Amino acid sequence: MNTALNIFLLLVPGLPLLLVFPLLRLRMSWTCYLALLPAAILVAVPTVVSIEIPWLLFGTGLGIDGVSRLLLAMSVLLWAVAATRLHTHAGETTGKHFVSFFLLAMAGNLGLIVSTDVIGFFTFSTLMGYGFYGLLVADGNAAARRAGRVYLGFLIVADLALLEALLIAATTTTDLGFEAIRNLIGQSPASGFYLSMVLAGFALKAGAWPLHFWLPLAFRSARPAVALLLGGVPVAIALLGMVRWLPLGELALTDLGVAIQWVGLTAAIYGTVAGLRQFHPQTVLAYAGIVVTGLFVATLGSGLEWPIIGSSIKETAHLFILYSGFMLAALVSGSVLADKIKTRHALHAPLLAGHAAGALLLALAPAMVLFLCWIPADAGPLVADSGMVALWPWWTLCTSLLAVRWLYLLTYHQQEAVSAPMPVAWVVWGVLLAATVATGLLAAVWSDDPTGVVADACWPLVVGILIGSSAWWLAANNRLPALPVIPPGDLWSILGRWLSRSNRWAMSMGHQVLPRWRAAVLATADRLLQVRAWQKALDAGERSLQSWTLAVTLLLLLGIVIALLSN
């Protein structure tokens, strides 16, 4: 039995990699589902399995336990749902290149979940990132290619930062397992640099503020199958990387923890303001993701400030990652289904109930943090000093406002056509909503005080709904003042225009100004060389150097100088 499970463990990333080659899938109409079969079997078998592969990547390992089994279940479900959407708007299957990128990203995603050390995690994460870049740009329009270029640039910088962190870890210990690095990284003289590289690298991959520019662009331009994966693959897995690589519960880093909490708070404010000024539902979801990742980053900051919180986060953060991945996927599916809504009077009851449920799940996302990170009563005074606990109701207010904005845009905005058959789309949407609800209920069961958390979440939720509903009514009656539009990518648009102008200036300098300066300098040099006085002086100097007396004198002086310098 163990031998068979070890083989399935190897096939979790191995089978999708094999099926990447078109020759191996010519006669396989269910290639993407077949690639998920080993992972689905391991999810169904409740056994802890691990295997060491010393000949691969300087020695690496694969394993699955209770935590990784839940994350693997999320990935299997999301990839299976995305596979049902691998159709064009005309109903034809996608091209071979898209399926190859799909399988590459799938192999990286599944492989890093079952990796037991940083080398395997880094390798599979890189594979997943570049495969996902292919998904963004394959058969896409100009907007998709632009989002892909921004994502690729951020991905390269992120991998360089994580490689630096990996090298620091390798100089600290020969055991590159996650637990060993968390325990020993504090002994490294470069531990601060390690933490900075890990945070920067995974923040770039997750689209966390202020490194978020690729995320709204990708949500807005990606096809439905890819947009559905955005929350549960690049974003959720980057959050998982932070949890696995950071020494949560091992070190007390007060200054760094407080600074990270301020970054998370700023992300919540910025994401809310920018999200409320979007005019496409999926772009609002991108900024909701920025708020949620900001909340998660602030929670990690609390864990670095207070090790007792860090220990709790290390054990339970995977449920928040599950919740956010399922939630964003469910909201994207709901956005795609909203093409049935023509006016605000045409809301069908099931569709309205589903969209309201999705908006409520988004609004209650911050409550998940208190479910998962609530510390026993004996640590209450310590936790009360944490900014994460003090500010989480305001995060609930932010997500509530964005949820109402998303519902408003679903009513008034015409969505893209649903590529999959309507019954399949409804089933997919229902499964994702049910998975999100189940994750939230599981977190509530694990919480020490679920009733108190829900009660504390009521007032910011009600305030957010009241404010959002009032703005909805004012907008519907044309009484809301005109506010400036923030384009997807916000500051990146301004930066892009500045870079474009700089590029045009550099090109004009290279093609026009510098050649003119060069020609002028050469012309001046030619005129000076043609002056007879200069020619006579050069000829006299050349004749002087031909004298043996002068040459020997210069040689002796040179030898003296070399002797003095050598002493």
Of the candidates 261, 229, 274, which has an alpha carbon nearest to the alpha carbon of residue 369?
A: 261
**pLDDT for 493-531, tens place per residue?**
666 666 666 666 666 666 666 777 767 777 777 766 666
In this predicted structure, what is the pLDDT of residue 319? 86
Give CA–CA dist 165/199, Å, rounded: 10
- In this structure, are residues 407 and 359 in contact, taking their beta carbons and an 8 Å threshold? yes
Q: Which residues of the chain have pLDDT under 50?
A: 88-93, 341-346, 375-382, 414-418
Cα Rg, the chain, nearest whole Å: 29
**pLDDT for 432-449, tens place per residue?**
889 888 888 887 777 766
Q: Does residue 394 sit in helix, strand or coil?
A: helix
In this predicted structure, what is the pLDDT of residue 94? 56
In this predicted structure, what is the pLDDT of residue 287? 92
Q: Which two tokens stand for residue 314?
A: 């290390």
**Domain ranges across the chain:** 1-148+162-186+209-247, 256-481, 490-525, 531-567
* Structural element, H or E, at residue 389: helix 387-412
In this predicted structure, what is the pLDDT of residue 495? 66
Diameter over CA atoms, the chain: 108
Contacts 24+ apart (CB under 8 A), 178-181: 178/116, 178/117, 178/118, 178/121, 178/244, 178/245, 181/118, 181/245, 181/247
In the chain, the percentage of residues whose pLDDT exceeds 70 is 77
In this predicted structure, what is the pLDDT of residue 567? 58
Q: Does residue 52 sit in helix, strand or coil?
A: strand
In this predicted structure, what is the pLDDT of residue 202? 93
In this predicted structure, what is the pLDDT of residue 381? 47
In this predicted structure, what is the pLDDT of residue 500? 65
